[in-house]
Amino acid sequence: MKILITGINGQLGHDAAEEAKHRGHIVYGTGTTSEYSGSARLMCELDGYIRMDITDDASVSEVMDTIKPDGVIHCAAWTAVDKAEDEECRDMAVKVNADGTANIAKACKRINAKLIYISTDYVFDGEGTKAWEPDETDYRPVNQYGLSKLMGEKAVAENLEKFFIVRISWVYGINGNNFVRTMMKLSESHDTLRVVNDQIGLPTYTRDLASLLMDMIQTECYGYYHACNSGEYISWYQFACEIFKMTGADVNVIPVTTEEYGLSKARRPKNSRLDTGKLKKAGFSELAEWKDALGRFLKEVQ
């Protein structure tokens, strides 16, 4: 299968490429730089890396019409949640996450390619304690980032029938910055840290997610899905405590409320619980337990 992965310089794009090549697929990656620029070295040889601006419809059309992939995994996104609240950045978040995604979706339709669009729990308002189901339609994003990703979802659904929309939460991987790396770094210079204890969800390790995406793209089980590592839902505080337990860092972690923590410009949803049960119903395997995933990640980076 010929697969094109956008945003290959990011955490998920990197791992999706390695998983695809491991399975014997033909893999092309795109990014905004002239050559691969991820912080982690690719352990596979791509069949091609192409500079592509997803906000430029002509650029997207040229690449897609030339490569003619069977499937596209669309990882490229504006992910700076707080910056998206700034007046000068708000339009760019929409341009990348909504307009850019629309360009990808239209090109997929023209060449009859499957599309996997990576979305987020931020499309929901984060109220209550019930886990969000994949086919829930009561979208109420509480920040500009969530709104722009929801607009991207709608662009996919309006243009395609052969699509997977996969919402994820609390993402971390080897190729980039994330919460786990931040905690590890802070533990080198802090003996006490404050971490929010009222935002609840589950982390998503990109290596595990990449494996699921490769399973998906080879099927026709289209629709909306939620994917994160399995286990009992936790808070960021509990996640941080486990990180320090596994790394042996001597850090006193103080649980605080979102309001007490402050700092964040963009409002964060408190309920990030994602119901992943639809994966099994469609014949896919759920992701590994979150502590198992964290342990494997730490072995990679330590």
Beta-ladder partners of 168 = 120
Beta-ladder partners of 15 = none
3-class DSSP state of 227: coil
- Give me the catalytic one of 145, 172, 205, 225: 145
Q: Give the chain's largest Cα–Cα span.
A: 56
Q: Is 145 a catalytic residue?
A: yes
Which amino acids are annotated catalytic? Answer: 145
